[in-house]
Amino acid sequence: MTTISTVEPMLGSEHMLINIGPQHPATHGVLRLVCELDGETVLRVMPDIGYLHSSFEKLGEYRTWNQIVPLTDRMDYLAPLIYNCVYVMAVEKLMGLEVTERCKVVRVICMELDRIFSHLLWLGTTAIDVGAFTPFLYAFQERERIYTLHESFTGQRITTSATRIGGMMADLPDGWTESLLDFLNTFPDTLDEIDSLLTTNGIHLGRTLDVGVISAEEAINHGFTGPNLRASGTAYDLRKDQPYYDYETYDFEVPVGENGDCYDRYLVRMEEMRQSVLILQQALDRLPDGPINVEDPRVSLPSKTDCMSDMESMIHHFKLITEGIAVPEGDCYFAVEGSKGELGMYVVSDGGEKPVRWRIRPPSFVNLSVISKLAEGHLVSDLIMINASLDIVLGEIDR
């Protein structure tokens, strides 16, 4: 490690403590980094989190199972649909509820679309951290189109709350699949343009190559998952390792890096977006007709006509509305490949209308805890790049 005292012994300096954030654009949220420096070399980074703590997990214990859905998208506002989906998937698994074929494909579409959505934000903001402004504009223009898709499907751009236990809040609106297809046809061109601006760009290479290196073994030991782990060379992807929703029948590759540096993390995410486009195209091809919501008396409301003419249906309707869904006793851990890593939901029920415990296995939280190890011995400016390359979202770290 090059320290100022070895290069310039006459300047033998005191270590300096500097504070980055919590209100700083380069920390990608209300993250505070306390850094111990020797000259400009980082010796230690102490992330200080909790500025955005909203006690979602505690709040969830006071809500019925379906009322938790709106809490989930507020955690990762960069990929809200993935969070909506994984929560209800965990509860459905605990209930032993099998959703309809159409619902499965729609959820796959939602999750892959938001993987692109999240990676695009990461791409734009990371590029701007190393001084490239144009990719930011290109990426956000494409994100805007996904926002429009969100809005026409769910009515909201960010806080989508699109899922319900047993299905979705609504079926896809007319013309939505055509709009998505339109996006899929033109988006790869933009991605290629960004690619040509960054992948072989000397400045970008200089800022990312061999910066923040972590080996596969260490990455696993530190709990790395998602693109960060795959950049280190371990092909751990829950879509392949623990397939859900027929992911094993989709034709796609899991990109893997070699060196585990910032540049490999960049390459892996770029390729993941292309693979997500492929999955989306296949999902659109196979999107079956049929009901989107499951017909199960435990979760689905009887029709309005039945309620008006049939006493039992009315009682059923009344009880589902006033008491909520009853989930059988037990616990369930269910994880999907989120945009940032293994996104798990751990739900515990005692058979009541409210969860005993609702826990999110937060990928960004675990990934961020490694930052000190990654940044040791690098310059402060590299710390900014390393932090960006981890792709964190503070809403989910602090929960």
Within 8-47, which residues bind other proteins (CB under 8 A)?
A: 9-10, 12-15, 17, 19, 32, 34, 36, 38, 43-44, 46
Scan residues 52-81 and list those touching other proteins (CB under 8 A): 53, 55, 57-59, 62
Q: Is 96 in the site for other proteins (CB under 8 A)?
A: yes
Measured from the CB atom, is 51 or 147 closer to other proteins?
A: 51
Residue 23 Cβ vs other proteins, minimum distance, rounded to whole Å: 12
Q: Is 371 in the site for other proteins (CB under 8 A)?
A: no
User: 302: which 2 tokens?
Assistant: 């009887």
Residue 193 Cβ vs other proteins, minimum distance, rounded to whole Å: 36
Most distant pair of Cα atoms in the chain: their distance: 92
- Using the rule CB under 8 A, which residue among 140, 147, 176, 333 binds other proteins? 333
Measured from the CB atom, is 193 or 295 closer to other proteins?
A: 295
Measured from the CB atom, is 173 or 297 closer to other proteins?
A: 297
- Tell the burial category of 25 from Cβ atoms under 10 Å away from its Cβ (0-12, 13-18, 19+): exposed
Measured from the CB atom, is 93 or 157 closer to other proteins?
A: 93
User: 96: which 2 tokens?
Assistant: 């032993």
Scan residues 179-218 and list those touching other proteins (CB under 8 A): 218
- Tell the burial category of 331 from Cβ atoms under 10 Å away from its Cβ (0-12, 13-18, 19+): middle
Q: Is 7 in the site for other proteins (CB under 8 A)?
A: no
d(CA 167, CA 95): 13
- What is the three-class DSSP state of 343? strand
Closest CA to 83 of 11, 163, 17: 163
d(CA 147, CA 315): 39
Scan residues 340-359 and list those touching other proteins (CB under 8 A): 342, 344, 346, 348, 350, 356-357, 359
Q: How far is CA 29 from the centre of its chain?
A: 15
- Using the rule CB under 8 A, which residue among 2, 141, 186, 221 binds other proteins? 221
What is the x/- site pattern for other proteins, positions 226-245, by CB under 8 A? --------x-x----xx---
Residue 151 Cβ vs other proteins, minimum distance, rounded to whole Å: 32
- Check the CA dihedral 215-221-227-228 and report its sign: negative
Helices 262-286/176-198 angle, 10° precision? 160
Measured from the CB atom, is 176 or 346 closer to other proteins?
A: 346
> Are 340 and 363 in contact, with CB atoms under 8 Å apart?
yes
Select from 92-100, 131-139, 150-158, 268-276 the region that touches other proteins (CB under 8 A): 92-100
Residue 53 Cβ vs other proteins, minimum distance, rounded to whole Å: 5
Residue 74 Cβ vs other proteins, minimum distance, rounded to whole Å: 16
How many residues form the binding site for other proteins (CB under 8 A)?
72
Q: Check whether the bond before 297 is cis (ω within 30° of 0).
A: no
Which own/partner pairs from 297-305 qualify as long-range (CB within 8 Å, at least 24 positions apart)? Answer: 298/95, 298/97, 298/325, 298/326, 299/95, 299/97, 299/164, 299/165, 299/166, 299/325, 300/166, 300/167
Measured from the CB atom, is 61 or 171 closer to other proteins?
A: 61
- Using the rule CB under 8 A, which residue among 222, 281, 282, 301 binds other proteins? 222
> Are 195 and 138 in contact, with CB atoms under 8 Å apart?
no
Tell me the backbone φ, ψ of residue 110, rounded to 5 degrees: -60, -45
d(CA 207, CA 223): 25
- Using the rule CB under 8 A, which residue among 78, 370, 384, 392 binds other proteins? 370
Select from 107-115, 157-165, 256-264, 325-333 the region that touches other proteins (CB under 8 A): 325-333
Q: Is 246 in the site for other proteins (CB under 8 A)?
A: no
Residue 250 Cβ vs other proteins, minimum distance, rounded to whole Å: 19
92 vs 15, 48, 123, 352, CA distance in Å? 53, 35, 33, 15
Scan residues 288-317 and list those touching other proteins (CB under 8 A): 296-298, 312, 315-316
Scan residues 120-179 and list those touching other proteins (CB under 8 A): none
Residue 65 Cβ vs other proteins, minimum distance, rounded to whole Å: 13
